[in-house]
């Protein structure tokens, strides 16, 4: 939950956030070099993130939230408590673990040039979600 709080307060160190704090760097997303690297871009709007969320199996009732502003998107998806399409894991657990996994992989790509595969990331997020249940 602390990570989601950091996201809501634009406190995770994306290029855009670091630039606003006086760091001299380009605001562009390092993996795609297309959009400004905001929290929303890193966790939802980046092409790998979009693919990840589709593969993770977001509930149909939450799909509209994926066009909402950052705080609303985080809130709606982190409080929904019905089972998801995948293994019956509650949506809020899958969403929270999914956000964390996306952030870890985003950083791994930037700092270690790791290969980002949405399928592998979704499977890892699911296994972490299962760990939270048991």
Rounded to 10 degrees, the C-alpha dihedral 58/9/102/133 comes to: -60
Distance, in Å, from the CA atom of 74 to the CA atom of 72, rounded to the nearest integer, reads: 5
DSSP state, residue 15: H
Identify the DSSP state of 21: T
Domains of the chain by residue range: 47-134
Give the CA angle between residues 45, 97, 18 to the nearest 5°. 50
Quickly state the pLDDT bin for 9 (edges 50, 70, 90). Answer: very high
Query: Which pair of tokens denotes residue 113?
Result: 């040039």
**E strand or H helix that includes residue 53:** helix 47-56
Which pLDDT does position 37 carry in this prediction?
Answer: 85
Whether the per-residue pLDDT at 2 is higher than 60: the answer is: yes
Least confident residue range of 41-45, 51-55, 82-86: 82-86
- Longest Cα separation, the chain: 45
Which pLDDT tens digit goes with each residue over 70-127?
999 999 888 877 666 667 778 888 889 899 999 998 888 877 765 555 566 566 555 5
**Token couple for 131:** 């760990």
Q: What is the pLDDT of residues 20-39, one digit of tens each?
A: 888 887 777 777 777 788 89
Q: Model confidence at 63, in pLDDT bands (50, 70, 90)? A: confident
Q: Which residues contact 2 (CB under 8 A, 6 or more apart)?
A: none
Rounded Cα distance between 22 and 112, Å, is 24
Question: Which residues, other chains included, contact 11 with Cβ-Cβ below 8 Å and sequence gap of 6+?
Answer: 5, 17
Cα torsion for 58, 63, 67, 69, to the nearest 10°? Answer: -60
pLDDT at 113: 61
């Amino acid at each position: 939950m602390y990570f989601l709080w950091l996201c809501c307060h634009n406190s995770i160190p994306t290029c855009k956030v670091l630039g606003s704090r006086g760091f001299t760097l380009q605001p562009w997303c390092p993996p795609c070099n297309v959009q400004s690297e905001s929290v929303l871009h890193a966790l939802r709007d980046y092409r790998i993130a979009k693919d990840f969320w589709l593969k993770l199996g977001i509930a149909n009732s939450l799909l509209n939230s994926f066009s909402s502003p950052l705080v609303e998107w985080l809130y709606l998806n982190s409080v929904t408590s019905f089972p998801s399409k995948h293994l019956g894991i509650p949506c809020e657990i899958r969403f929270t673990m999914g956000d964390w996994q996306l952030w870890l992989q985003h950083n791994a790509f930037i700092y270690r040039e790791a290969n980002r595969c949405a399928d592998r990331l979704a499977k890892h997020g699911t296994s972490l979600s299962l760990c939270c249940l048991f």
